[in-house]
Amino acid sequence: MTDLVIRGECTISPMIIPVNNGLKSINFYLLRNEEGLTLIDAGLNTEECWSHLKLGLDKIDQSLEDINQILITHNHHDHVGLVNRVMTALPREIPVYAHQEAIPRLKRNKEFFSMRIDFFQQLYEEMGCGEAGEKQVKKLREAMATNEKHAIQADIIPLLPAGRIANLDVIETPGHSPDHVSFYDNKNKWLFVGDHVLEHISSNAMIEPTSDGKRRKSLIDYSESLKICAKVDADTLFTGHGELITTHREFIAARLQRLNQKAERFLSVIQQGVTTASELAQASYRHKYQSEFALVMSEIIGHLDYLEVAQKINKKKMNGVWHYITV
- Distance (Å, whole) CA 202 – CA 259: 9
Specify whether the CB–CB gap between 205 and 222 falls below 8 A: yes
Candidates 72-80, 124-132, 181-189, 249-257; binding stretch for Zn ion (CB under 5 A): 72-80
Beta bridge partners of 40: 29, 71
Candidates 99-107, 108-116, 187-195, 287-295; binding stretch for Zn ion (CB under 5 A): 187-195
- The number of beta carbons lying within 10 Å of the beta carbon of residue 314 is 12
76 touches Zn ion (CB under 5 A): yes
**Secondary structure letter of residue 93 according to DSSP:** -
Total number of residues binding Zn ion (CB under 5 A)? 2
- For residue 291, CA distances in Å to 266, 270, 274, 282 come to 20, 23, 22, 12
Residue with Cβ nearer Zn ion (75 or 276): 75
CB of residue 150 vs Zn ion: minimum separation in angstroms? Answer: 15
63 SS3 class: coil
105 touches Zn ion (CB under 5 A): no
195 touches Zn ion (CB under 5 A): yes
- In this structure, are strands 96-98 and 156-158 parallel, antiparallel, or unpaired? parallel
CB of residue 195 vs Zn ion: minimum separation in angstroms? Answer: 4
221 touches Zn ion (CB under 5 A): no
- Distance (Å, whole) CA 214 – CA 207: 11
Residue with Cβ nearer Zn ion (173 or 188): 173
Residue with Cβ nearer Zn ion (108 or 312): 108
Residue with Cβ nearer Zn ion (70 or 129): 70
CB of residue 49 vs Zn ion: minimum separation in angstroms? Answer: 15
Residue nearest to Zn ion (CB): 76
CB of residue 154 vs Zn ion: minimum separation in angstroms? Answer: 20
185 touches Zn ion (CB under 5 A): no
- Distance (Å, whole) CA 3 – CA 24: 18
Site string for Zn ion, 275-304 (x = CB under 5 A): ------------------------------
Candidates 71-79, 210-218, 253-261, 313-321; binding stretch for Zn ion (CB under 5 A): 71-79
Q: Spell out the alpha helix ranges (H) of the chain.
A: 47-59, 77-80, 83-89, 102-106, 110-126, 130-147, 218-231, 248-271, 277-284, 288-291, 293-309
Residue ranges in contact with Zn ion by CB under 5 A? 76, 195
